[in-house]
Amino acid sequence: MIAPKIDRLEVLERVKSDPGIRHIAIVVLTSFREEQDLVRSDALGATEFFNAIQDLGVFWAILNEPSPRPGRP
């Protein structure tokens, strides 16, 4: 297996430091339970999975429209 050249937190840090793409939400899914990693991810602006799913649900509820049915205006 080839080791990555940079780790997930470095990727997060690079994305969030670029003004052109820092607004993109990044969800970090990890099995690590290191408090230090979780705190650093949060400080760098990672979106927590629960919050991302909750926001998606709100977005869907507000913008979702039923598809038009044939023969109905």
Looking at residue 28, which CATH number applies to its domain? 3.40.50.2300
* Residue 35 belongs to some domain of the structure: yes
Question: Taking residues 10-32, what's their average pLDDT?
Answer: 83
* Residue 3 belongs to some domain of the structure: no
List the beta bridge partners of residue 47.
27
Q: How many domains does the chain have?
A: 1
* Residue 31 belongs to some domain of the structure: yes
* Residue 70 belongs to some domain of the structure: no
Quick one: pLDDT at residue 71? 63
**Average pLDDT of the chain, as a whole number:** 78
pTM: 0.50
Tokens of 25: 């939400």
- Return d(Cα 9, Cα 27) in angstroms, integer: 12
Domain interval for residue 28: 8-63
Residue closest to 44 by CA, chosen among 73, 6, 8, 3? 8
* Residue 71 belongs to some domain of the structure: no
CB neighbours (10 Å) of residue 39?
10
